[in-house]
Amino acid sequence: MMSSSTRDPRSILCVGHVCVDLINLCSHYPEEDAKVGTTTANNRCLEQRWQRGGNAANNSTVLGLLGAKAAFLGTIADSHEKRFLLEDFAKYGVNTEQAVVCKGCECPSSCVILSRATASRTIIHSNKNLPELSVEDFAQVDLTPYQWIHFEGRNVANVAQMIKLVREHNKGLPRGEFITTSVEIEKAKPELEALIPLADVVFVSKDFAAFKGYSNKAETLERVKALAHPGAVVVCPWGEEGASACQGSGVMVHSPAFPPASVVDTLGAGDTFNAATIFALAHGSALEDSIRFGCRVAGAKVGVIGWEPMR
Ligand code: ADP
Ligand code: FRU
C-alpha cells in the first residue's frame, strides 16, 4: 500500500465537497421556537462564525496542518462566498488549482449548533444547485503528483468511475508507484455501500454503522471487510471509544480516544481522524500506530474551537 517511489510522499488529493458552515456555539442545545441571544438567561449564544466546511475540505485542512502537500478537488460555487473559501484553503496551504468553479450556482451551507453542555454538533446542510464533480472533470486532472487520493463517499456513480480511473492509471506503473485510494463511508445512505469494494482503504463511520444496524466497531469491521476487496484496510472511528481497524485477514487493532481537558468543538472530528490516519499511513506507519495518531490529532481538535488554534 505504501509508496516507495521518488514522488513527494506527502502529496494527497482530497476529492469531495466544500461549503460554508455557519456555526452557533451555544451553552445548551436550544428548545424549538426559542430565541437564543448573547445574554439570554437559560441559554446563550457564545459565538457565531463562518468556517469552511465539507468533509473533503476539512480533510485537506488537517493534512495541510500536518505538513502534507494537500490538494482539494471538488466543485465550488462562483458566488460571493468563493473568495472566503479559497482564501481559507490557502491559509492552510491547500492547493485548489484543480477545483471546478461553477457559474450561476449558490454556495452550499450548513447551519451548525454546537452545544457546550453536551459537546454535540448538530448539522443542517443545504445544497440548492451546486453540481457534483463529474468523471469528465476528474479525467482532466494529472494524477502523477499524487501518492494518495481520498474520496468523500458521495456522488456514488461518479466516484466509482473516478476510483476506476485511478486503478487504470496504476496499471501502467511499477507497484511501488501506485496511487493509494481511500474512501469515506459516512452518511446514512444505502448507495454508499457500492464504494466499499473499490478502495484500498475504507473509513466507515459510526453513523453508517448505526444505519446498517451494526452495534460496535468489531461488528462493523467484520461486515465491511466482507464487502471490501481482499487485503483492503478497513478503519472505524467511534467517538469517545476511539477507533479500530483491520487489514485483510490480519488481527484487529485498536486505539483509545485521547480526550482533551475539555471537549469544546466536535465538528469535523471524524474528518480530522481520517485525515491524520491517512497522513500516518502515507508515511509508512503501521496500522495500529496510524489510528492512534488519528485519535491523538482528533482528540486535540475536539479540545479547541475550529482549526485556527492548531496552526
Ligand atoms: P464524527 O465526527 O464523524 O461523528 P466520531 O465521533 O466517530 O466522528 O469521532 C472521530 C474520532 O474523533 C474518534 O475516533 C476519536 O478519536 C475522536 N473524538 C471524537 N469525539 C471525541 C471526544 N469526545 N473525546 C476525544 N476524542 C474524540
Ligand atoms: C463535518 C462537515 C461540515 C459540513 C458537513 C457536510 O464533517 O463536513 O463541515 O457542514 O459535514 O456534510
Q: What is the pTM of this model?
A: 0.96
Nearest CA residue ID for atom 7, ligand 2: 268
Whether 249 has a pLDDT exceeding 90, the answer reads no
Nearest CA residue ID for atom 5, ligand 2: 54
pLDDT at 6: 47
Query: Which ligand 1 atom is at minimum distance from the Cα of 259?
Result: 25
Give the ipTM of the model, two decimals please: 0.98
Reported as a single tens digit per residue, the pLDDT across 94-117 is 999 999 999 999 999 999 999 999
pLDDT at 9: 57
Whether 3 has a pLDDT exceeding 50, the answer reads no
pLDDT at 105: 98
3-state SS, residue 119: coil
Residues 156, 191 contacting (CB under 8 angstroms): yes
Query: Which ligand 2 atom is at minimum distance from the Cα of 271?
Result: 7
Residues 135, 44 contacting (CB under 8 angstroms): no
Cell of 111: 447551519
Phi/psi for 265 (5° steps) reads -160, 100
Q: Which residues pair with 20 in a beta bridge?
A: 52, 109
DSSP designation for 193: G
pLDDT at 8: 60
Query: Which-ligand-closest: CA of 52?
Result: 2
Pocket lining: 153 vs ligand 1, CB cutoff 6 Å: no
Whether 68 has a pLDDT exceeding 80, the answer reads yes
**Spatial separation of the C-alpha atoms in residues 152 and 286, rounded to whole Å:** 23
Pocket lining: 298 vs ligand 1, CB cutoff 6 Å: yes
Phi/psi for 247 (5° steps) reads -135, 125
pLDDT at 175: 86
Torsion sign, CA atoms 70, 71, 76, 82: positive
Q: Hey, which of 208, 266, 278 would you mutate to test ligand 1's pocket, going by the most ligand atoms within 8 Å of its Cβ?
A: 266
Pocket lining: 203 vs ligand 1, CB cutoff 6 Å: no
Q: Note the residue count of the chain.
A: 311
Whether 2 has a pLDDT exceeding 70, the answer reads no
Query: Which-ligand-closest: CA of 239?
Result: 1
Query: Which-ligand-closest: CA of 119?
Result: 1
Q: Hey, which of 19, 49, 114, 152 would you mutate to test ligand 2's pocket, going by the most ligand atoms within 8 Å of its Cβ?
A: 19
pLDDT at 283: 94
pLDDT at 42: 87
Percent over 90 (pLDDT), the chain: 94
Query: How remote is the C-alpha of 300 from its chain's centroid?
Result: 16
- Residue type at 233 in one-letter notation: V
Q: Which element (helix H / strand E) includes 14?
A: strand 11-15
Reported as a single tens digit per residue, the pLDDT across 87-96 is 999 999 999 9
294 CB contacts (<8 Å, ≥6 apart)? Answer: 235, 237, 243, 255, 272, 273, 274, 276, 277, 280
pLDDT at 7: 53
- For residues 51-75, average pLDDT: 98
Cell of 101: 468553479
Residue 1: which pLDDT band, with cuts at 50, 70 and 90? Answer: very low
Reported as a single tens digit per residue, the pLDDT across 139-197 is 999 999 999 999 999 999 999 999 999 999 999 899 889 999 999 999 999 999 999 99
**Spatial separation of the C-alpha atoms in residues 70 and 63, rounded to whole Å:** 6
- For residues 239-257, average pLDDT: 96
Nearest CA residue ID for atom 9, ligand 2: 53
Reported as a single tens digit per residue, the pLDDT across 8-33 is 656 999 999 999 999 999 999 999 99
**C-alpha of residue 196 to centroid of ligand 1, in Å:** 22
Q: Hey, which of 258, 296, 302, 304 would you mutate to test ligand 1's pocket, going by the most ligand atoms within 8 Å of its Cβ?
A: 302
DSSP string, 8-24: -TTEEEEES--EEEEEE
From 100, 59, 62, 64, select the one nearest 82 (Cα to Cα): 100
Residues 19, 107 contacting (CB under 8 angstroms): yes
Count of CA atoms in the C-beta half-sphere (13 A) of 150: 30
Pocket lining: 236 vs ligand 1, CB cutoff 6 Å: no
Whether 136 has a pLDDT exceeding 70, the answer reads yes
